[in-house]
Each structure stands twice: as C-alpha cells, then as structure tokens.
Amino acid sequence: MYRLRFHGRGGQGARVASKVLGTAAFLDGYYAQDFPLYGAERRGAPVAASTRISEDPIMERGVISAPDIVIVMDETLLQDPLTMPVSGIKQGGIVLINTAHSPEEAKVEYKITAQVLTLDITKIGLDMLGTPILSTLAGGVAARIVGLSEDSLRDAVKKILSEIITDKRLLDKNVAAALYCFNAITPAKIELKTTDTIKKKSTVISVPFEPATVSSPAINATGNTPLRMTGNWRVFRPDWNYDSCTRCMICVARCPDGCILVNEDGYPYTDYDNCKGCLICVEECPTNSLGKVREVHTKKVIGK
C-alpha cells in the first residue's frame, strides 16, 4: 500500500488533489481511499489530506501518520511548527515540495532525511491556469510518483473538476496542467528500508489533574496571534515604491489585518511577518506606490 499525505493551505486544493489521486487509482483498478482534514473552512489555514492506494482492501482510516509519500503544496508549511508536514515520513519515502529550489537545496534547507523531489507547481499553475489553485497539478505529480496511468489521471481530473466547475475551458486547462506536471517529474523509486517511521515511539501516560485556573480553555495571554506568522500565507507580496507615496494613509486604513505600519517619517510599510498577501493595499493605493511580486519563500524572507 502507498500512503500519501498532501499538505496545503485552505483554498490551495490539497483536498481536491487527494480526490484526484484517489479517483485515478480507483480507475486504475486499485483499492483507494481519500480523506481531508481541515480545522475550519478558512482560506490560508493549513490543510492536510490523505490518499491510500492498495492492491488489497484498505484496513486503515483517518489521517496518515506514517506516510510513504508527502506532497508539500505550500513550502511555507515546512516552517510551521504546528503542521510539520514531513512528520512520520518513512525512511526511503519521498517528499515532493512545491518550490523553486532544487531537491538538494530543499533537503538541506528543511533538514529532510527522506528523498526529496521538487517542482515549482505554483509557477506552472500561474502560467497555465492563471491562479495558484494547485489541486489538479498536485494530483498529477502524485499520480506519477505512485506510478498510475496518464489516462486514469486525465479521467480523474475531468470527473472531479466537473463536479466543482462548469467552465469547460478552465477544466481543459486543468487537464493540461495536470498532465504537464505528471510528465514534468522523474519519479524516484520508493525504497522503504524499514517500515519504522522516523518519529519516536510515544508512551501513553496518566494525565495529572490541574486546577481550573490552568485547565479551563481560557487564554490569559493577550494579543499573541502575531506568533502565528500568517505572512506564510502569501503567494504574492505587496512591494513598495516610496518615490510616489504621498503618505495618504489609505493603505493603512484598508488593511484588514492591520499589517501596514507607519514609520517615524510617516511612511507606511508592511509587516511581512503577518501580511497574508490579500493585496487590498495594492488595489487601493491611489498613487500606484504598491505593486505585487511573486513570493519566493526562504528563511531569509520569513521574519524580515
């Protein structure tokens, strides 16, 4: 059995990617199972989805804790301590990362011991679809890695997307993009050296009692959401050109997240740690002092 886990952000298409893969495997005659896990319907929030593919009936349910293959659709998730997309990956398993980095760079950058493949899926999505919705593309990549047929992938994309969208042209573009991704990577061979996971075995404990001052679901800290670093969500970043900025403060008033601050000279600037990249500021700036550039996340960008 192959166990695949997709990690993306809400709206990016991890759930649909897992369905595309599950359907393609089903069409190829395998037993298949796919399953999304998301906290709440929220664009940008971490989302995981699982697909199992097997020649025998599948006796598992729920989130895959020890995957053979992980598809990281959003590179920034690798730095999210709550998500930990590569957790549990088996030795010899494969991690595919949506990044502009080479596999070697990514392996070092994110300290991954499993095999790493990379593909800039976002760029392909923007070029071929015009949006960074990567469901069918990630499904295409995954289908290739597990060795499914191109025909089944094509049929699966058509089937799944026709349930969601009515635009025939967009559907065709997705089929093309999925197949492009399918053929864009050379799959590594999954060489599981052991069925053990890299994760340490955990022990069941007896939870001690704590008084309600501690154990009620109340938060005594204040204003600590900036620790969540929602700057990770950005696909595009607002880019400043101060030559034309008139310090009109419109951008400051328009930012839903309060991520545009003002320096001592009265010039606004972006809190990139938290800016989600909605680009309202770019849209609203009356002097075109803000542009947008594709975000390429590295550690250097995150955290100013």
Quickly count: other Cβ atoms within 10 Å of residue 13's Cβ: 27
CB 116, min distance to other proteins, A: 27
Any residues with CB less than 8 A from the CB of 224 and at least 6 apart, and which? none
Write out the two tokens for 80: 């999210």
What is the DSSP track for 124-172? HHHHHTSS---HHHHHHHHHHHTT--HHHHHHHHHHHHHTT---HHHHH
Write out the two tokens for 201: 């075995």
CB 135, min distance to other proteins, A: 15
Q: Of 169 and 193, which CB lies nearer to other proteins in the complex structure?
A: 169
Q: Of 103 and 231, which CB lies nearer to other proteins in the complex structure?
A: 231
- Helix 150-162 to helix 14-27 angle (10° resolution) is 130
Q: What are phi and psi of 73, to 5 degrees?
A: -80, -20
Q: Of 159 and 228, which CB lies nearer to other proteins in the complex structure?
A: 228
Answer positive or negative: Cα dihedral of 298, 299, 303, 304.
negative
CB 272, min distance to other proteins, A: 11
Chain-centre distance for alpha carbon 236: 15
Any residues with CB less than 8 A from the CB of 204 and at least 6 apart, and which? none
**CB 157 within 8 Å of CB 178:** yes
Helix (H) or strand (E) segment spanning residue 240: strand 236-240
CB 13, min distance to other proteins, A: 13
CB 265, min distance to other proteins, A: 12
Distances in Å between the Cα of 84 and the Cα atoms of 41, 79, 119, 209 are: 20, 7, 20, 29
CB 303, min distance to other proteins, A: 12
Q: Of 2 and 233, which CB lies nearer to other proteins in the complex structure?
A: 233
Q: Of 108 and 227, which CB lies nearer to other proteins in the complex structure?
A: 227
Q: Of 186 and 203, which CB lies nearer to other proteins in the complex structure?
A: 203
Q: What are phi and psi of 36, to 5 degrees?
A: -95, 150
Residues lying near other proteins in the complex (CB under 8 A): 10-11, 39-45, 207, 209-213, 215-230, 233, 248-250, 252-259, 261-263, 271, 274-280, 282-284
Q: How many residues does the structure list for the chain?
A: 304
Neighbouring C-alpha atoms within 13 Å toward the C-beta of 170: 14
CB 150, min distance to other proteins, A: 31
Q: Of 189 and 304, which CB lies nearer to other proteins in the complex structure?
A: 304
CB 157, min distance to other proteins, A: 21
Q: Of 66 and 279, which CB lies nearer to other proteins in the complex structure?
A: 279
